[in-house]
Each structure stands twice: as structure tokens, then as C-alpha cells.
């Protein structure tokens, strides 16, 4: 193993650190269903949501490759929105699942998500 002073700065991998400045919430009963592709029809419980991403519960996260892209329909109570999600991280402890970055929300879907997050923030206060 190389000593600290032998490492070249160009050899270091720098990953963006998530800064939790965005509103986020926990939504018991929220479900995301894959609409297209190899995972079509598969439903995931959503553990956590933010304006930037979702955490989907998955017992065996290694079965889904990082970088996989889903087109999702997300349902919480009487509210629904659609989005694209690219898987960026897997976790096995303390919770099991996959985290992804949200994209391609139309204006109505973004508004729905924002309203859900605002309601969760109000409930937490």
C-alpha cells in the first residue's frame, strides 16, 4: 500500500458529498412502481424522498446494478407523480435498499412532490 506522501493528488477519487439542505421526508406507505424496461411492474416501498432523490427498500440491493434507470410512478395516499430515477448508491446497513437521483419530473409531478415534502416538513415541526 502506498504511503500518504507517495500518493499523487491526481490518483485520488473525489466523490460529491450529499449535503442534506433540501427538504426530505419519510412517507410510510409510499410505493414506486417501475413502468418500463426489465424491471417493469416491480413495486418498491419508498423509505425516504427529497427533491433530489428517493430511497427504495430492496432486500437484496446487489441484484440491481448501479446506474440502472427507472421510469417510476410514485403513489402516496391519494397523490401520484411520475419521474425518472438513476440508481446511485446501495445500502445494506442500517437499512437495505437503493438510492437514486430524480430527473425528468414534469411541472405537475414536481409540484406534487414539493407539496408532499412541505406537508412532511410541517408535520415534523
∠51-106-113 over CA atoms, to 5°?
A: 35
Q: Show the cell assigned to 1.
A: 500500500
Domain 21-124: CATH superfamily is predicted glycosyltransferase like domains (2.40.10.220)
**Separation between Cα atoms, residue 80 and residue 59, nearest integer Å:** 24
> Predicted confidence band at 6 (pLDDT cuts at 50, 70, 90)?
low
Structural contact between residues 84 and 104, judged by C-beta atoms closer than 8 angstroms: yes
| Choice between 71 and 20, residue whose per-residue pLDDT is larger | 71
For 21-80, what is each residue's pLDDT tens digit?
666 788 999 999 999 999 999 999 999 999 999 999 999 999 999 999 999 999 999 999
Q: Show the cell assigned to 89.
A: 448508491
- Give the 3-state secondary structure of residue 106: coil
Residue 17 pLDDT exceeds 80: no
Structural contact between residues 101 and 86, judged by C-beta atoms closer than 8 angstroms: yes
For 93-119, what is each residue's pLDDT tens digit?
888 999 999 998 999 999 999 999 998
The answer, as to whether pTM is greater than 0.85, is no
> Predicted confidence band at 12 (pLDDT cuts at 50, 70, 90)?
very low
Amino acid at each position: 500500500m502506498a504511503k500518504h506522501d507517495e500518493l499523487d493528488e491526481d490518483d485520488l477519487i473525489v466523490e460529491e458529498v450529499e449535503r442534506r439542505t433540501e427538504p426530505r421526508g419519510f412517507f410510510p406507505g409510499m410505493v414506486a412502481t417501475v413502468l418500463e424496461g426489465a424491471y417493469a411492474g416491480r413495486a418498491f416501498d419508498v423509505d425516504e424522498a427529497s427533491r433530489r432523490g428517493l430511497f427504495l427498500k430492496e432486500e437484496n440491493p446487489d441484484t440491481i446494478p448501479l446506474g440502472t434507470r427507472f421510469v417510476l410512478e410514485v403513489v402516496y395516499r391519494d397523490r401520484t407523480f411520475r419521474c425518472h430515477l438513476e440508481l446511485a448508491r446501495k445500502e445494506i446497513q442500517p437499512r437495505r435498499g437503493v438510492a437514486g437521483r430524480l430527473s425528468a419530473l414534469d411541472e405537475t409531478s414536481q409540484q406534487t412532490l414539493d407539496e408532499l415534502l412541505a406537508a412532511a416538513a410541517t408535520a415534523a415541526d
